[in-house]
Amino acid sequence: MSFLLKLIIQIAVIIIVSRVIGILFRKIHQPQVVGEMVAGIVLGPSLLGWLAPNVFVFIFPPESLKYLNVLSEIGLLLFMFIIGLELDPNLLKGRGRSAVIIAQVSIIAPFILGVLISLYLYPYLSSKSVSFTAFALFVGASMSITAFPVLARILSEKNLVKTKIGAVTIACAAINDVTAWSILAFVVTIVRAGSGGIPFWLTLLGAVAFILLMIFIIRPLVAKLEIYYANKGNVLTNDILGAVLLLMLVSAWTTEWLGIHALFGAFFMGAIMPRNKYFLNSIIEKLSDITLVLFLPIFFALTGLNTSIGLINGTGMWLFFGLILSAAVIGKMGGSTLAARISSLHWREAAGLGILMNTRGLMELVILSIGLELGVISHTLFAMMVMMALATTFMTTPFFEWVYPERLLRKEQEEIEKGNQKSGILIPVSFPSSGPGMLKMASSIISNRDLKVYALHLIKTNELSLPNLDETNVKQDYIEAFQPLMKYANENSITVSPISFHTRNAAEDINNIASLKGVNIILMGWHKPILSESILSGTVNEVMRYAKADVCVYLERQFNPYKNILVPFREGVHDKGALVLAHQIAENIDANVTVLHIVKPKDTGTEKNSSNADEDIIRAGGIEDFPEERIKLLVVESDSPLDTAVKIASRNYDLVVVGLSETWGLEPSLFSKRHERLARECPASLLILRKYVAHQTV
């Protein structure tokens, strides 16, 4: 069989096994990458070679592994480049001295323990040609690593990124990664210099020159690629991607030639790329899928092929493994925990941080593969360290859930959400003429001094065609959409952040932007003739169903100041929300509020002015402190609430604020005869509110 056919079979087997085991591990609440790491062991001599040696030799004959190795090396270069791209300096802002202290202790403690146990391990588990200094430094460095990508994924899956422990942990991991890789580069330089490579001093000078060249020459040149990307309408063309990959390869070749390692050049190239998130995300999106699905599983498989658990035989060898695992956990988890506790975190937070920092994952395998390639460690020690990496990564999730139960995480997240209530409003702008009216309503809901508006203009793209990327047309559309709104904003000193991009699913993108910006209200307008199409259908309906924020739909009938506001009130969370909203508007614009409370009839059709009978309604709306002369409570007995609301809304009111409810004919349905009658027949401007309640949809 030709090597090509053999290679195709190998890749197919690797992808199938890694995906299946990865999915199984995800079902037991482990990151998929842990399952893919285990898949590599399964395909190696430790399991497949033990259970079915003939099948193992057929699929992975020794002479064919060099081809897999080449693909694995390319995959690692791409992966380290992506890690550099994802390294966000902003993670360090506001973390201060505590993050630096914790990160350095989390490196120093396991590094020292690694060097100490090397005194005992060196005679038994080192490669014969390596010096004790190189061996000890490498073991110490390999103990010190934290798997930043796996850690970030765990924090994201558990919604911990914005919590105190999540923010400090991610900052520590970022500092840890940079420091640990710097130490490893130093160690690799020493090892290669000692094995007859480029002299150490020459490598050191070359490394300094390389870093200066990358920062002061290459980085400004790459910034021009970002400008070119922006001029192309934020589209990553093949030319741009080709130039980026070429720079990455040149950087990797340079560090390999200097005697450090190609992986460091790829990582450094990613780290100095411009921090424009759209530019970075475009590159990551292009490269990550093929890297994660194809190249990394090949690397895991090669790691597994080099890992033979059978080499760890006898009590002595298992004691060595126990010593390595203990030093790794005590140094990393224990050191991080104590440093975090000293740095003012509570014991639970400190322990949680220590457990998270103990995650080693894929980054450990990368380091070990370098050590095996350089001949620093033996195959037996390689197998032990791979098992240590798997064990420390696997224990992260259950240990963390034990220290931080779900109920405590949920409580902390709820407190953060309460403490982070923002005064942001998102305004999707479909038509330029609607902008000023929407902005006027936004500034009525929240006073100008506290108001931050995100104006969103989405350019719809057909599912089967590419968007119109003509630079002139895109800019013209952007200017026309926001011009009236920005003019009104400038005249009234309102802070507005305009956002515009192409969309294939408007509702999904509106909700994504609302979540990303942390707004608490999405204010949507209505621009078409009422009788031609339902107000609460289509995009509006989808936004209302899935938005994790209050959604208001505004129908503007007049641009004059609102003096008299009507709030139809029956029961339910949306009606109560409408009452609170009307109160806010009235306070901000000095208006009067009439609360129309419709009750079941005793004598149908009678109206009563009440000053004290409906105190519960006042409390429900949170308007106990509102001046009595500015609020009128109108109680009407009626068996037809909608007819009554339409009749009274037709009186002298400038604005009607109403909650989403079937009572008012405002249920989001296309087929009700009563549907939206209040909107059709009310002459005043109308503001419809869907109050957001967690775990509920419209």
> In the structure encoding, which two tokens stand for residue 507, read together?
């509702």
pLDDT above 70: residue 95: no
Average pLDDT over residues 144-170: 73
pLDDT above 70: residue 197: no
> In the structure encoding, which two tokens stand for residue 497, read together?
């952040």
Query: pTM above 0.95?
Result: no
Angle at 570 between CA 647 and CA 695, to 5 degrees: 130
Angle at 437 between CA 432 and CA 439, to 5 degrees: 90
Are 421-551 and 557-698 equal in CATH topology?
Answer: yes
> Is 681 buried (19+), middle (13-18) or exposed (0-12) by CB count in 10 A?
middle
- Residue 596 CA to residue 565 CA, distance in Å, equals 10
> In the structure encoding, which two tokens stand for residue 287, read together?
């490269």
Sign of the Cα torsion 213, 268, 179, 190 reads negative
Domain boundaries, the chain: 3-414, 421-551, 557-698
Confidence bin at 618 (pLDDT 50/70/90): low
Residues whose CB is less than 8 angstroms from the CB of residue 366 and which lie 6 or more positions away in sequence, other chains included: 76, 79, 80, 263
pLDDT above 80: residue 694: no
Tell me if 684 sits within 8 A of 654, measured CB to CB. yes
pLDDT above 60: residue 528: no
Average pLDDT over residues 221-229: 87
Whole-number pLDDT of residue 249: 96
Lowest mean pLDDT, pick from 148-162, 210-224, 468-482, 580-594: 468-482
| Higher-pLDDT residue of 156, 385 | 385
> Is 502 buried (19+), middle (13-18) or exposed (0-12) by CB count in 10 A?
middle
- Between the alpha carbon of residue 632 and those of residues 384, 574, 591, the distances in Å are 77, 20, 12
Is it true that domain 421-551 has CATH number 3.40.50.620? yes
CA 301 to chain centre: 29
Whole-number pLDDT of residue 94: 53
Where is 609: in which H helix or E strand? strand 607-609
pLDDT above 90: residue 234: no
Each residue's pLDDT tens digit, 336-386: 999 989 887 888 888 989 999 999 888 888 899 988 888 889 999 999 999
Each residue's pLDDT tens digit, 422-447: 458 999 988 888 888 888 899 888 87
Confidence bin at 187 (pLDDT 50/70/90): confident
Sign of the Cα torsion 324, 327, 332, 333 reads positive
> In the structure encoding, which two tokens stand for residue 482, read together?
């926001």
| Higher-pLDDT residue of 486, 629 | 486
Tell me if 656 sits within 8 A of 684, measured CB to CB. yes
Which CATH fold would you assign to the domain 557-698?
Rossmann fold (3.40.50)
- Residue 695 CA to residue 668 CA, distance in Å, equals 18
Confidence bin at 269 (pLDDT 50/70/90): very high
pLDDT above 60: residue 296: yes
Count Cβ atoms below 10 Å from residue 55 Cβ, excluding itself: 12
Four-way CATH pick for 3-414: 1.20.1530.20, 3.30.360.10, 1.10.510.10, 3.40.50.12780:
1.20.1530.20
Tell me if 426 sits within 8 A of 521, measured CB to CB. yes
pLDDT above 50: residue 190: yes
Tell me if 581 sits within 8 A of 619, measured CB to CB. no
Residues whose CB is less than 8 angstroms from the CB of residue 264 and which lie 6 or more positions away in sequence, other chains included: 80, 181, 185, 188, 255
The listed range with the strongest mean pLDDT (28-37, 93-102, 196-205, 621-630) is 28-37
pLDDT above 60: residue 695: no
Tell me the residue length of the chain.
698
Confidence bin at 465 (pLDDT 50/70/90): very low
CA-wise closest residue to 337 among 108, 99, 144, 102: 102
pLDDT above 50: residue 5: yes
Confidence bin at 662 (pLDDT 50/70/90): confident
Main-chain phi, psi angles of 603, to 5 degrees: -115, 100
Secondary structure E strands in 124-227: none
DSSP class of residue 622? T
CA-wise closest residue to 357 among 212, 233, 180: 180
pLDDT above 80: residue 58: yes
